[in-house]
């Protein structure tokens, strides 16, 4: 077998780690590829489908009416004005630029199956049997500066957040006005 210079370069390239991408979501984005604010996806669902493991999704201020399923390790960051560059990542402000994911009472707002970080978003108006706001199973879930509000009413457990057989980190979060007919109106974990 003859190994050429091109074969060696290809083998090296295949062995190099890939860098996580930053995908953008904005109500005014064109939806072309999500790699910049002007070409941002108009929905978080489109960005999740386009994402790869370990990507970050930056969300501009707005209300996104969606019910989402996250099945790969990603980080979702809200609180952006929609014009920040990578050096301004930590300058985002969820209080000034609220980013709301609204489930429209059509099931869990966010369903997590894997490792996920939500940071700087509001999750509201979910309705499901378990985990109306956030439903996580066999998952590592990190919530930072997340507001989980007005989820549940007919569910059995975890009106706001339900996590089963996983790990949960909660940092600077607000769980308010969530309800469940069984256990854990705000949070149910086991």
Angle at 150 between CA 27 and CA 108, to 5 degrees: 70
Asked if residues 153 and 179 have their Cβ atoms less than 8 Å apart, the reply is: yes
Q: pLDDT of 142-165, one tens digit each?
A: 999 999 999 997 668 999 999 999
- Alpha-carbon gap, residue 159 to 133, rounded angstroms: 6
Each residue of 13-56: pLDDT tens digit? 445 556 789 999 999 999 999 999 999 999 999 999 999 999 99
Contact present, 23 and 48 (Cβ < 8 Å) = no
Cα–Cα dist 94/76, whole Å: 13
Question: Confidence band (pLDDT; 50, 70, 90) for 10?
Answer: very low
Nearest to 103 by CA among 141, 58, 148, 133: 133
Cα separation, 70 vs 37, in Å, equals: 22
């Amino acid at each position: 077998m003859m190994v050429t210079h091109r074969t060696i370069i290809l083998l090296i390239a295949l062995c190099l780690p890939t860098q996580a991408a930053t995908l953008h979501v904005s109500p005014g984005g064109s939806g072309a590829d999500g790699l910049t604010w002007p070409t941002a996806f108009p929905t978080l669902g489109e960005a999740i489908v386009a994402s790869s493991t370990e990507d970050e999704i930056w969300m501009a201020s707005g209300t996104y009416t969606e019910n989402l399923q996250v099945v790969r390790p990603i980080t979702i960051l809200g609180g952006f004005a929609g014009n920040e560059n990578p050096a301004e990542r930590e300058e985002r402000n969820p209080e000034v630029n609220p980013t709301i994911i609204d489930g429209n009472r059509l099931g869990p707002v966010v369903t997590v199956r894997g490792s996920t970080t939500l940071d700087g978003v509001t999750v509201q108006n979910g309705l499901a049997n378990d985990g109306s706001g956030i439903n996580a199973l066999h998952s590592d879930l990190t919530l930072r500066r997340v507001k989980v509000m007005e989820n549940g009413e007919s569910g059995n457990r975890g009106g706001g957040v339900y996590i089963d057989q996983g790990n949960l980190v909660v940092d600077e979060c607000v769980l308010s006005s969530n309800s469940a007919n069984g256990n854990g109106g705000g949070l149910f974990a086991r």
